[in-house]
Structure 1
Amino acid sequence: MDKAADDLRAIRLDQFIPHPPAKVWRALTEPELVARWLMPNDFKPEIGHRFTFRTEPKKQVGFDGIVYCEVLELEPGKLLKISWSDGKRADWTVTWRLEPEGKGTRLFLDHEGFDPGDELQQLSRRIMGGGWRSSHFRAIAAVAAEL
């Protein structure tokens, strides 16, 4: 697949977080901490665990405010991959990878599975890409700083 096609199917980002991987991992996997930077949830870091995120509905993209998820892969301190679905159109995966870098962590995000031919999914990709980029990485770093 060429880069242009991949750009329509995925959000791929990475950011340096000036905190050690153990703190970033906690921010990504402890439900009360995840709720502080993303959404209220009933997450458990266990492969096969099904959980939900809840937030305000987004009528412009047909989103009722509930994200249905399942933990697909887990390597403590290194990798977390979850399914991410709105129960209707979206069937995505979100993967977080952590790599030590100096005294901090390089945090990678791959949010994959957007349909390039679905206008609502492409709108969602643009909205979510902006959110991951502009606020969520900063919020993860802020939560990790408090640990």
Structure 2
Amino acid sequence: MSASTELRSVVVEREIAQPASRIWKALTQSHLISEWLMNNDFDLKVGHKFKLRGEWGGILDCEVLAIEPERSLSYTWNFANDDPLYALQSIVTYTLTPTVSGTHLRVEQSGFHPSQKQAYGGAHAGWKSFLDKLETVAAAQD
């Protein structure tokens, strides 16, 4: 694959002072996902197709690809758009690793074409904002 067609990934990592079980709940329970990410009809089953509905009116078509409870979750993150700079077929993977003080969370969104600089930059900023909210949601659980 030549450098000009190589797909790029956004990776955001964070240490969260919460056990993996709390973060896993925030990643996998529909009502909690709505609090930190977007409104959705998520279900924790491989092959489940669901939608994420952004506040801006956009709808993402998603499908659960892989589940490793309290360790890893992957799903497609596809946004249809007539403009190839904004249309996106990607995969989001969350990886949780227990640490002494809580959990290391790594989020990777792969599938950005080199021409999608704005979408790539937006995803990088967006994930940082989403993870700020996720951290709050994980901490607020009973």
TM-score bracket, normalised by the shorter chain, equals 0.7 to 0.9
The answer for the alignment partner of 2:119 in structure 1 is 124
Identity %: 36
Structure 1 residues 43 and 122 mapped into 2: Cα distance closer, same or farther (>3 Å)?
A: same
Structure 2: runs of 5+ lacking an equivalent: 82-86
Deviation at 1:145, TM superposition (A): 0.6
The answer for the alignment partner of 1:106 in structure 2 is 104
Give the structure with the higher percent helix.
1
Give the structure with the higher percent strand.
2
| Partners of 2:15 and 2:104 within 8 A in 1 | yes
- What is the Cα-based RMSD across aligned positions, in Å? 2.0
What TM-score comes out, normalization by structure 1 length?
A: 0.85
The answer for the alignment partner of 1:75 in structure 2 is 68
Q: Distance in 2 between matches of 1:41 and 1:86?
A: 14
Structure 1: runs of 5+ lacking an equivalent: 58-63
| Partners of 2:112 and 2:120 within 8 A in 1 | yes
One-letter amino acid of the structure 2 residue matched with residue 17 of structure 1: I
Q: How does 1:1-147 map to 2 (within 5 A)?
A: 9-57=8-56, 65-88=58-81, 89-116=87-114, 118=115, 121-133=116-128, 135-147=129-141
Q: Residue by residue, what CA displacement relative to the aligned partner does 1:52-85 show, whole Å, maximum 9, x if unpaired?
A: 001134xxxxxx5000000001101100000010
What TM-score comes out, normalization by structure 2 length?
A: 0.88
Q: Distance in 1 between matches of 2:15 and 2:55?
A: 29
Moved over 4 A (4+): none
